[in-house]
Amino acid sequence: MRINEPNRVGMINAYNKTANNQVSKSGKIPMGKDEVNISTEALEMQRQIEDANAPQRREKVEQLKKQVEEGTYRVPSERIADKLLSFWKKQ
């Protein structure tokens, strides 16, 4: 049996060079940063939607919180049954 180049130093050196390039001086692998950019148009649309619904929504949420705290919040069983039926009919 013939073995060519039993001391394959060249391959080991190539591996070491690539491993050293990935690690910075601090010993950590450099990572890129994730970034999210939202257009000014999208921000304006979001602000308009929040402004339009804010007073009524806050009032409704406060009423519901008060009812839950007092124990007077009730959901009609017919509404629950209707939602369950519509959910199961979709599937």
| Total of domains in the chain | 1
In a domain, 69, yes or no: yes
pLDDT digits (tens, 9 = 90+) for 70-89: 999 998 999 999 999 999 99
For the record, the structure tokens of 31 come out as 């990572």
pLDDT at 14 over 70: no
Q: Give the domain extent around 65.
A: 40-87
Which pLDDT score is estimated for 83? 92
Report yes or no on whether pTM surpasses 0.75: no
pLDDT digits (tens, 9 = 90+) for 29-56: 667 888 889 999 999 988 887 777 778 8
In a domain, 68, yes or no: yes
